Chains A and B, each alone.
Chain A
Amino acid sequence: MADIITIEHLSRDYVVGPGKKVHALKDVSISIRRGEYFGLLGPNGAGKTTLIRIITSLLAPTEGDVFLNGSRSSEYRQQIRKSIGVVFTGKRSHYGLLTANENLFFWASLYGLEKRVARPRIDSLLKEFGLSEVGDQRTETFSTGMLQRLNLARALLNEPEILILDEPTNGLDPEAARNIKAILASLRKRNLTVIYTTHNLGDADDLCDRVCIIDHGELIAIGTPSELKRRVGKEIVELTLEGNADQTKETMRADGWELTIGDHCERFRKEFVDFSYDELREIERRMPSISITNVERIHPTLEDVYIKITGKRGS
């Protein structure tokens, strides 16, 4: 897959007082491939929104460059803005006194779409996002979830190549968030490139082909969710044993197993890079008086990766 966005040595400083600067981004380089769902992860203040604003050309970098389809974004701002759709977190892009239809028509006209093109496109987007029934209702009556779906419809009006979503499930109830995730998953058929910032690691794990983790303005990890999990996380195997307790504990500890719960049964856990069931057969051979009643294999999540890398907990 060819790269659609190339970010080269990007840095951004903010002046916060006389002689005082905050480094929001430090020498970040990322390539995003055409058609992929790319997750930008990081704690609050990590620099995710700054990066998004630079990609959309709303903010100039202090150093470095962003290339979209090979064109430098600072030089071809107009063309680049036409090829992107953006949903910013917490920002209103609708007018409460206008209906959903009128809102979308307003944005369609700002995108320069003619009425005969805009009308069917608006109808189809409203239908796709489950808003057809309320198309003639004022948006001041909409729930947060409905407004976010309307935001997505607005961002897709100009049929962009790249869709940029800044924490799209932020502030939504679980059902509305699930709806948005389902919509995003369904957008794959459009062959869009999606850049998705979030600190909901479950969302990123489910939706993104690749993710990067940014902390204190620095890129600290990049790869597919499974690559990142493999890189930092070892599989944990948890065994439940029954039998001679004292002998079991000593032998298991000697083999590197850690006792977790000692109630009526014994549970032991151990980290493995490459677990094999031969390990269990070896335990049963060496301790014939015990029996393994349960084996649980716990795979690392993106949350584990995130905590290990940033030392912080995601939502």
Chain B
Amino acid sequence: MKRISIVASVFKMYLLQMIRSRGFFVRGLVFAPIWAISYYYSMKVFSPESSVITSKILLGLILWIWLYDSVWDVSNCLSSEKKLERIDHIFLTERKTSWVLGMSFALTLFQLLNLAVVWIVISFLFGMVLSANPLVIVLLLILGIITTSSLSMFAASLSFRMRSHVNSLSIILDILMLVCGVVYPVVLFNPALRYLSYTLPVTIMIEMAGMDNMSITSGFLIRLAICIIESLVLFGLALKSIDHAERKAMENDSLSRH
């Protein structure tokens, strides 16, 4: 219970900072027209007959941006805590797990809020309606936050251990984006790559969002369970990786000095 309250407190503080940074409004306003134009052209290119297909194109784009921006933000946040050497104070509290969880949830939700602004603008301009069970939408959003933050934390924790943060993050992100099925559908992959892709919870979440009938079926629930298990494994791996980084720093004094 205490840990949950610490995570909630960290979550609140980071979200507060993100909203106060004014980036929320600026990014929403800048991205919305760009998105609206790209959406308009993507509709023209694909000439969709049904609004479900166009919704899926949009959903794919939104997921892509959400994942990419979240991973960048979580990683940049870790990097800036490192650069400002605030990380030493955080580690001295012995609550780094709660801190990392709270921080990545906050940044992922912040990205979602950003995208919500874009979505509202596009819906207003094009009269776009996503036809789905509202409960499924809520479930997918929660799942999206969990899977995206687990992937963000995992990618960020790997780059956290590397000397050149930006370069290593770009490589890690590109590989993850290719493998998780956001850029290319998983059905196009060869079997080996497909298995690898399904080890990432985001892949399953994307598949769930793309299901023709977005309602709670047994297939949906199985995917939900797998997705949650995989997310927990990713969180665990990310925390192990940060622990390892701390241990290495104790030996080399390099954590806050890269």
A contact set with B: CB distance below 8 Å: 14-15, 50, 53, 56-60, 77-78, 81-82, 84, 86, 88, 90-93, 95, 97-98, 102, 105-107, 109-112, 114, 154
Given A78-B94, A95-B17, A110-B93, verify A14-B6 contact (CB < 8 Å).
Answer: no
Name the residue of chain B whose CB is nearest to the CB of A85. Answer: B92
Smallest Cβ distance from A314 to chain B, in angstroms? 25
Smallest Cβ distance from A122 to chain B, in angstroms? 13
Complexed CA–CA distance, A124 and B9 (Å): 21
Name the residue of chain A whose CB is nearest to the CB of B250. Answer: A60
In contact, A91 and B89 (Cβ under 8 angstroms) = yes
Complexed CA–CA distance, A102 and B17 (Å): 11
In contact, A102 and B95 (Cβ under 8 angstroms) = no
In contact, A110 and B10 (Cβ under 8 angstroms) = yes
In contact, A58 and B86 (Cβ under 8 angstroms) = no
Partner of A84 from the list B10, B21, B92 (CB cut-off 8 Å) is: B92
Partner of A105 from the list B2, B9, B98 (CB cut-off 8 Å) is: B9
In contact, A58 and B88 (Cβ under 8 angstroms) = yes
Given A92-B86, A97-B20, verify A110-B2 contact (CB < 8 Å).
Answer: no
In contact, B17 and A91 (Cβ under 8 angstroms) = no
Give 29 CB contacts A-B under 8 Å: A14-B253, A53-B253, A56-B92, A58-B91, A77-B94, A81-B94, A86-B92, A88-B85, A91-B84, A91-B85, A91-B86, A91-B88, A92-B85, A92-B86, A95-B17, A97-B17, A98-B13, A98-B16, A106-B13, A107-B93, A109-B5, A109-B10, A110-B6, A110-B95, A110-B98, A111-B95, A112-B93, A112-B95, A154-B89
Smallest Cβ distance from B222 to chain A, in angstroms? 37
Complexed CA–CA distance, A109 and B256 (Å): 23
The answer to the question of B49 belonging to the interface, with a C-beta cut-off of 8 Å to chain A, is: no
The answer to the question of B160 belonging to the interface, with a C-beta cut-off of 8 Å to chain A, is: no
Complexed CA–CA distance, A59 and B93 (Å): 15
**A15 contact set on B, CB distance < 8 A:** 252
Interface size class of B (residues with CB under 8 A): 20 to 34
Name the residue of chain A whose CB is nearest to the CB of B90. Answer: A110
Interface residue SS majority, chain B: helix
Interface residues of B in 73-118 (CB under 8 A from A): 84-86, 88-95, 98-99
What number of A-B contacts does a CB cutoff of 8 Å give? 79
**B89 contact set on A, CB distance < 8 A:** 86, 88, 91, 93, 107, 154
B contact set with A: CB distance below 8 Å: 2, 5-6, 9-10, 13, 16-17, 20-21, 84-86, 88-95, 98-99, 249-253, 256
Complexed CA–CA distance, A97 and B12 (Å): 13
Smallest Cβ distance from B208 to chain A, in angstroms? 34
**B253 contact set on A, CB distance < 8 A:** 14, 50, 53, 59
Complexed CA–CA distance, A34 and B94 (Å): 24
**B84 contact set on A, CB distance < 8 A:** 91-92
Complexed CA–CA distance, A105 and B84 (Å): 20
Complexed CA–CA distance, A84 and B89 (Å): 11
Smallest Cβ distance from A106 to chain B, in angstroms? 5
Partner of A58 from the list B21, B92, B95 (CB cut-off 8 Å) is: B92
**A111 contact set on B, CB distance < 8 A:** 93, 95
Complexed CA–CA distance, A58 and B253 (Å): 8
Smallest Cβ distance from A73 to chain B, in angstroms? 11
Complexed CA–CA distance, A90 and B93 (Å): 19
Q: A97-B17, A98-B17, A112-B2 are in contact. List 18 more A-B contacts (CB 8 A).
A: A15-B252, A59-B253, A82-B94, A86-B92, A88-B88, A88-B89, A90-B85, A91-B85, A92-B86, A93-B86, A93-B89, A97-B21, A98-B16, A110-B6, A110-B9, A110-B10, A110-B93, A112-B6
